Amino acid sequence: MKNPPNYPQLEDNAPLLLGPGPSNVPPRVLQAMAAPMMGHLDPIFLDVMDRIQHLLRYTFQTENSLTIPVSGTGSAAMETALSNMIEPGDPVLVCISGFFGERMEEMCRRYRAEVEIIRRPMGEVFTIEEIEQALKSRPAKVVAIVHGETSTGALQPLEGMADLVHAHGGLLVVDAVATLGGNPVLVDEWDLDVCYSGSQKCLSCPPGLGPITLGPRAEKTLAERETSVANWYFDMSGMQKYWGKERTYHHTAPISSNLALYEGLRIVAEEGLEARWARHQASAEMLWEGLQGLDMTMVVPEAYRMTTVTTVRVPEGVDEAAVRGRLREEYNIAIAGGLGDMKGKVWRIGLMGHSARKRNVRRLIGALDKILHG
């Protein structure tokens, strides 16, 4: 084999990330990643693991003991949540209103669940009554739903949903990948059984970790399984022994990623969740006002709109990919196009974590104005 060419060093020209993830990473988090390497059972790292768990409980607003970062992205956390709660033949209800609800359905089928789905058009949310009707028709062991659907920008109300699911003997599994740290996620107050997220969205850490929390009902379900979890790597019964008092080896944890998460969670705690939620809300409102000033319309009604991801319709006659290309090349700003049925029809603009700043909104609106109106 010939020697490879002399590849150039990576350019230090990172864009302003205003898509649905990842978000820009604060310098403190990048600095934490550069810390010297240590072993995954080193006493110093074990102490950091304890701190990460405490900070995750604060961020999830829970007292759940089984609250850890899965070694993998948000999709790995989704895989963990579903594989641990589902055994072959289990009845599962998946509520689909976008791309990531579809992913939930696919995973459930791979774990050989008996899957029933209910749907809402992209950009809409479910009512308690719709889910109640589905459960009356067919009770489910697991009900899976997305809190913030990044393919549409819709924020699913969750208050009272767990009470309904529990009344029908089920567990509620919630995808909070795009909302944790940006929109209120109140695991204990809402009595969520399983809730998971991703490090790269509103927590503003590099991709690669999937925070997850299991409540008492979910822990009981895990302990009483009749079959082994079908996915060895994501089996929480093994992971909890590594993250618990036993410190039993399960896998080599991504040390640098966990150090980054620790620093990112420290930033969340320093700012305070309520202040952080308010910052995301204020930035989003400024974005909506600016987009409306450019004669653009949002897909989701304001009452059910995420503050972390806004989906805006592409104006008639505009090449959406060309606009995104110019934003990246001329203004060093990255936003995203649509997924699925919305491909080519919308832009998805993210204001997540460190990126959710009014100065970033002004920069984006100014650039869009110049591109669209000269």
pLDDT tens digits, residue range 304-343?
Answer: 999 999 999 999 999 999 999 999 999 999 999 998 888 9
User: Does some domain include residue 169?
Assistant: yes
- Each as own residue / partner, the long-range contacts of residues 125-129 (CB below 8 Å, 24 or more positions apart, any chain) are 125/97, 125/154, 125/155, 125/156, 125/157, 125/304, 126/95, 126/97, 126/156, 128/160, 128/161, 128/164
Predicted confidence (pLDDT) at residue 1 exceeds the cutoff of 80: no
170 with 289, same domain?
no
219 with 123, same domain?
yes
Of all residues in the chain, what percent carry a pLDDT higher than 90? 92
Distance CA 178, CA 369 (A): 27
290 with 265, same domain?
no
Q: What is the pLDDT of residues 153-173, one digit of tens each?
A: 999 999 999 999 999 999 999
Give me the mean pLDDT over the 43-65 stretch.
97
Taking the alpha carbons of 263, 37, 197, 26 in that order, is the dihedral positive or negative? positive
Q: Which amino acid is at 257?
A: S
324 with 232, same domain?
no
Give the structural domain span for 322. 16-21+272-373
166 with 313, same domain?
no
Predicted confidence (pLDDT) at residue 267 exceeds the cutoff of 90: yes
Q: What is the pLDDT of residues 103-156, one digit of tens each?
A: 999 999 999 999 999 999 989 999 999 999 999 999 999 999 999 999 999 999
152 with 77, same domain?
yes
Assign residue 218 the CATH number of its domain. 3.40.640.10
117 with 192, same domain?
yes
Give me the mean pLDDT over the 254-271 stretch.
98
Choose the final residue of a domain: 269, 300, 333.
269
105 with 233, same domain?
yes
**Residue 214 binned pLDDT confidence (cut-offs 50, 70, 90):** very high
199 with 250, same domain?
yes
Please give the model's pTM, rounded to 2 decimal places: 0.96
Burial class (CB in 10 A: 0-12, 13-18, 19+), 290: middle
231 with 303, same domain?
no
Predicted confidence (pLDDT) at residue 54 exceeds the cutoff of 90: yes
Tokens of 9: 């060093």
CA 368 to chain centre: 27
Taking the alpha carbons of 347, 305, 24, 102 in that order, is the dihedral positive or negative? negative
pLDDT value of position 340: 84
Q: What is the pLDDT of residues 274-304, one digit of tens each?
A: 999 999 999 999 999 999 999 999 999 999 9
pLDDT value of position 3: 82
pLDDT value of position 122: 87
